[in-house]
Structure 1
Amino acid sequence: MNEYLKEIHIGSFIKQAVYEKNIDAVRICNFLDCSPDELVEMYESDEISTKKLLRWSKLLEYDFFRLYTYHLLLYTPKMTVAKRGQKTRSQLPQLRKNYYSIEIINFMVEMIEKKEMTIPEILERYNIAKTTLYRWINKSNKPT
């Protein structure tokens, strides 16, 4: 999982989900209102319109947008103090960047446990707060 979200080839993820769900191409084409050739193009494409991706997410019951969210969480630098001081009013919804899913948390803890990365490497690479990472580690070590 370490590098597979660095470059997202959305068509490959969609194709894998279709394979796992064993959905017939005719059903997909009817649902997406596309031809078989357009379906193959989507499988081969590394990008897709948000409208189509939303349809795929509904059809396959999988949130493909979360792949991009995880990419942002893992590969976007933390906001610096200087940038925080320059806040401007926006009409856009303010989403929290520091929201980590259980999958991301487990991924980080697992990398440490398997000695694939050290704590300092994770802190530097993914820009996670030191206290946050240690809290995840402590929670994972508690008996359930």
Structure 2
Amino acid sequence: MLYKNIHIGKYIKEMVESKEISLERICNFLGKDEDFVEDTYKKPSLDTDILLRFSKLLEFDFFRLYTSHLILYSPPSSVGRKTDKKNDSIPQFRKNIYTQEIKDFILGRIESGEMTQADVIKEYSIPKSTLHRWILKKS
């Protein structure tokens, strides 16, 4: 799965089909009609309340797709950046959190020959030492 372009409706439809959940059950769970559900499959983005309901129904964290996108494609944070004292109550995004799913995805691209280590470092802004640590742990 590529995390760069997320069409959430497509992923939801694929999950519904793989779990073989009936349209009637989905409509009852969401409290919506069939047209709403069919339109949802065509949408590239959804309201978070609807996405949360689909995550519960399908027992899959669809928000993780967006988290993975942030980890892989957000610009690297500035080291030693000054923080504004009045924004201390706002949580800061930390880029150095890599899930096992992300690690497997990146290592899979290297193992398949799709990307080199240098490509991964450049494309995803992963530190060279971090990537080498992942490779050593996997072997």
Which TM-score applies when normalising by structure 1?
0.89
- Matches of 1:8 and 1:90, distance apart in 2: 31
Structure 1 stretches lacking a partner, 5+ long: none
- Matches of 1:97 and 1:62, distance apart in 2: 23
Residues 129-140 of structure 1 mapped to structure 2, 5 A cutoff: 129-140=127-138
Q: Does 1:46 align with 2:44?
A: yes
Q: Displacement of 1:95 after TM fit?
A: 4.6
Structure 2 stretches lacking a partner, 5+ long: none
- Matches of 2:49 and 2:128, distance apart in 1: 38
Match for residue 27 of structure 2 among 17, 26, 29: 29
**Matched letter for residue 96 of structure 2:** N
Match for residue 85 of structure 1 among 61, 66, 81: 81
**Matched letter for residue 100 of structure 2:** I
Equivalent residue pairs, number: 137
Structure 2 partner of 1:109: 107
Aligned CA RMSD, in angstroms, stands at 1.3
Contact 2:77 2:95 in 1 (8 A): no
Contact 2:12 2:41 in 1 (8 A): yes
- Matches of 1:16 and 1:122, distance apart in 2: 28
- Matches of 1:110 and 1:5, distance apart in 2: 14
